[in-house]
Amino acid sequence: MKGFLLLNGLPPECIDVSGGFCVCTDGAYVWAKKMGIKPDLVVGDFDSLGFVPDDCQTVVYPAMKNETDGEIALRLLKEKGCDSVDVYGAFGKRTDHFLGNLALLGIGMDLGVGVRLVGDGEIIFLGTGQVDLETRKNRTISLVPYGDTAHIIDSKGLLYPLKDLVLKRDDTRGISNVAESEKVGFFVKEGRVLVLESWRDEIKKYSAKNPPGLSNAFCG
């Protein structure tokens, strides 16, 4: 089942959560309601919102806890049977929250859930093993190791081929590659990589019913 996770970062310009289970965290309830979204569940400590909504199902957690509302919500989506989750509102506002949202990618992979952070004109997901990405020609594809290093054996469909390349956390080798076709692939032999796909120059071409160019990514 498809899952949607709404966080209290910058809200998207368009979003369609139909056909899946939608969990909203705390302050994201405000922008979700403005966009006409009724989440299946709202969770958190409600310190940002300042009150507990009474027009939908809620789960309240104490403010003093060891996980972010986003991590709690992701684990709930796993319990609901979601095997893939798109996260909206992960970008912008507090930098520490954004870094914590990047951690959701690793948590999701460990749980067996494919997680994507979706923004207006970009997505970020985590890849290991064979990674195949259905994209659009000339989009920017950047790869950043999720850890100290990531060893990429080979690639296809990229302007700058990746062949027996070890990406390191303290270099910028994987930034700003370019898709040469609608199908991009590479094999990560060791480690994990953050895959960032950007289409900011295309964003005005899409409508709310056709969110801006979300790609299909397959890792395994």
Q: What is the mean pLDDT of residues 13-31?
A: 92
Last residue of a domain, one of 96, 120, 144: 120
pLDDT of 212: 47
129 shares a domain with 116: no
Q: Which of 66, 89, 120 is the last residue of a domain?
A: 120
- Do 56 and 16 share a structural domain? yes
Query: Which domain covers residue 188, as residue numbers?
Result: 125-219
Domain check: are 106 and 188 in the same one? Answer: no
pLDDT (tens digit, 9 = 90+) per residue, 118-172? 998 999 999 999 999 999 999 999 999 999 999 999 999 999 999 999 999 998 9
pTM of structure = 0.88
Assess whether 116 and 131 both reside in one domain: no
Using the 3D structure, point to which of 99, 120, 141 is the last residue of a domain. Answer: 120
Q: 130 and 55 in one domain?
A: no
Same domain, 198 and 181: yes
What is the DSSP annotation of the chain?
A: -EEEEE-SSSPPS----TTSEEEEETTHHHHHHHTT---SEEEE--TTTSS--SSS-EEE--SS-SS-HHHHHHHHHHHTT-SEEEEES-SSS-HHHHHHHHHHHHHHHHHT-EEEEEETTEEEEEEEEEEEEE--TT-EEEEEESSSEEEEEEEESBSS---SEEEETT--TTSSEEBSSSEEEEEEEEEEEEEEEE-GGGGGG--TTS-TTPPEEEE-
195 and 116 in a common domain:
no
Q: Give the CATH number, domain containing residue 13.
A: 3.40.50.10240
Quick: pLDDT tens for 46-73: 888 888 888 889 999 888 888 899 999 9
pLDDT of residue 143: 97
- The whole-number average pLDDT for the span 10-33 is 92
Orientation of helix 69-79 relative to helix 95-111, angle to 10°? 20
* CA 114 to each of CA 12, 85, 159, 163, 178: distance values in angstroms, whole numbers, following the listed order: 20, 6, 26, 26, 23
Cα(150)–Cα(162) distance, integer angstroms: 12
Kindly state whether residues 100 and 36 are assigned to the same domain: yes
87 lies in the same domain as 54: yes
pLDDT, position 131: 97
**pLDDT (0 to 100) of residue 120:** 87
Query: Which pLDDT score, from 0 to 100, does residue 209 have?
Result: 46
- N- to C-terminal Cα distance for the chain? 18
Q: Are residues 132 and 214 in the same domain?
A: yes
